[in-house]
Amino acid sequence: MLKVAGLFTEYPNERGQIVRAAQDVSFEVPEGKLFTLLGPSGCGKTTTLRSIAGLERPRAGEISVGDRVVYSSARNVFVAPNRRGFGMVFQSYAIWPHMNVFQNAAFPLEVGDRRYSAQEIRDKVLRVLRAVQLDELADREATKLSGGQQQRLALARALVMEPQLLLLDEPLSNLDAKLRERMRFELKRLQRELRITTVYVTHDQSEALALSHSIAVMNEGHIQQIGTPREIYERPRSQFVADFVGTTNFLDGTVMGRGAEPGHFRVRTEFGEVEVRSDDDLRGNDSVVLSVRPEDVELAEARPQGDNVWEARVDQKVFLGEFLDFQVRLGGRILLARSHPSLRTPIGDAIYVKLHPEKCVALKAA
Ligand SMILES: Nc1ncnc2c1ncn2[C@@H]1O[C@H](COP(=O)(O)OP(=O)(O)OP(=O)(O)O)[C@@H](O)[C@H]1O
Ligand SMILES: [Mg+2]
């Protein structure tokens, strides 16, 4: 549905240098799906979104929605933002101060090309206000809303048109943790229900994992990897992605040869030989970095069956209620392991560590 191809957007800075904000950005979003741009501050997420909206003019590339090209450097096409008809909520959202909540949300319906009856407007507006939990405040003046409420109103206003494409830039950033989580579910439900094709921008990895059909992880203007939340989390293709999305243990190693199964390799580390998995075609003597998630470091007081098992020692423990974080010493390394709080091994005691080859991802060292 949305197709972005070879997009380059750049800015001049104060010293006349070029800021390469979006570099060769390409992705596609199928009809009705929610696609997230995820990455650290300054990586080019907002720039990419504003380029799709038409608020920035890229240097090169092509953007199309369905079979309508809205930007093409090669064909010299640039459709003005207000003619693109996308719904938007930006990082700095704007609500209209001289209107109440209901009027703000109804405004796009009243000024749009299509005519709606008063009853239709009422139904549509109340539906979106209910979704963002502002229906009780429909008569409140917009200026008398809290920051988080204003943000939700901006979201309602973008949703009310049921636009072909919805562009959201950190739309939940001003909400407290509890409300943000609730809104996350609401937004997901609403997006799925209305099947609005959405590009969502966030630097919050748990938000991205929770909401998205597909995620693009960005760094320094470039897309590093595109995949489903599970692919991004379980099969990172680079150290940057493994590190940015979730918590992980990195272990240096050297490839010794192929493992027992296709895609498996044997890797020498400072505490011994580990059977691992890799999507790269690794060769003997390649330097690699293993990424192992703390919840995949299996701990047991009795020696588990099978290979990839070592004896370690409990160094630290942190009780977090629903789980217990262990730091265990293995050779000269400290590994972070997340386990069920029922495991009570005291600090200083021996404990066995088991690593499942499928959960040890070998990445080519940078
Ligand atoms: N109008 C501008 N003029 C010059 N440089 C800009 C402009 N807008 C953005 N930049 C620069 O482009 C780069 C990408 O910025 P962008 O706003 O796209 O990042 P972001 O990923 O949205 O970050 P954040 O998570 O902090 O919102 C940054 O280095 C930023 O300083
Ligand atoms: Mg931004």
pLDDT at 249 over 70: yes
Say if ligand 1 is within 6 A of residue 18 CB.
Answer: no
Q: Do 210 and 283 fall into the same domain?
A: no
Q: Do 351 and 230 fall into the same domain?
A: no
Q: Do 35 and 176 fall into the same domain?
A: yes
Q: Tell which atom from ligand 1 comes closest to the C-alpha of 48.
A: 18
pLDDT value of position 362: 96
Picking from 208, 240, 272, the residue at the C-terminal end of a domain is 240
Picking from 240, 273, 300, the residue at the C-terminal end of a domain is 240
Q: Tell which atom from ligand 1 comes closest to the C-alpha of 13.
A: 4
Q: Do 251 and 236 fall into the same domain?
A: no
Rounded distance from Cα 203 to ligand 2 centre (Å): 8
Q: Do 236 and 253 fall into the same domain?
A: no
Rounded distance from Cα 23 to ligand 1 centre (Å): 13
- Higher pLDDT among residues 97 and 232, named by residue: 232
Tens of pLDDT, residue by residue over 143-157, are 888 877 888 898 899
Instruction: Tokens for 85, please give them.
Output: 């008809």
pLDDT value of position 93: 63
Tens of pLDDT, residue by residue over 192-203, are 888 899 999 999
Radius of gyration for the alpha carbons in the chain, expressed in angstroms and rounded? 25
Picking from 240, 274, 308, the residue at the C-terminal end of a domain is 240
Q: How many residues does the chain have?
A: 366
Q: Do 26 and 142 fall into the same domain?
A: yes
Q: Tell which atom from ligand 1 comes closest to the C-alpha of 56.
A: 1
Q: Do 301 and 213 fall into the same domain?
A: no
Q: For the residues 280-306, what does the mean pLDDT come to? A: 94
Q: Tell which atom from ligand 1 comes closest to the C-alpha of 40.
A: 25
Tell me which residues have their CB within 5 A of the ion that is ligand 2: 46
Q: Which domain does 260 fall in, by range?
A: 247-364
Q: Do 207 and 255 fall into the same domain?
A: no
pLDDT at 103 over 70: yes
CATH code where residue 263 lies: 2.40.50.100
Tens of pLDDT, residue by residue over 21-56, are 999 999 999 999 999 999 999 999 999 999 999 999
Rounded distance from Cα 71 to ligand 2 centre (Å): 21
pLDDT value of position 173: 81
Cα atoms found within 13 Å of the Cα of residue 250, Cβ hemisphere only = 17
Q: For the residues 126-139, what does the mean pLDDT come to? A: 90
Instruction: Tell me if 289 sits within 8 A of 276, measured CB to CB.
Output: no
Q: Do 182 and 294 fall into the same domain?
A: no
pLDDT band for position 347 (cuts 50, 70, 90): very high
Q: Do 196 and 314 fall into the same domain?
A: no
d(CA 289, CA 360): 10
Q: Do 61 and 210 fall into the same domain?
A: yes
DSSP secondary structure string for all residues of 224-288: EEEE-HHHHHHS-SSHHHHHHSS--EEEEEEEEEE-SSTTEEEEEETTEEEEEE-SS---TT-EE
Domain count, the chain: 2
Q: Do 191 and 93 fall into the same domain?
A: yes
Instruction: Tell me if 2 sits within 8 A of 70, measured CB to CB.
Output: no
pLDDT at 92 over 70: no
d(CA 20, CA 17): 10
Pocket test for ligand 1, best of 17, 38, 45, 200 (most atoms within 8 A of CB): 45
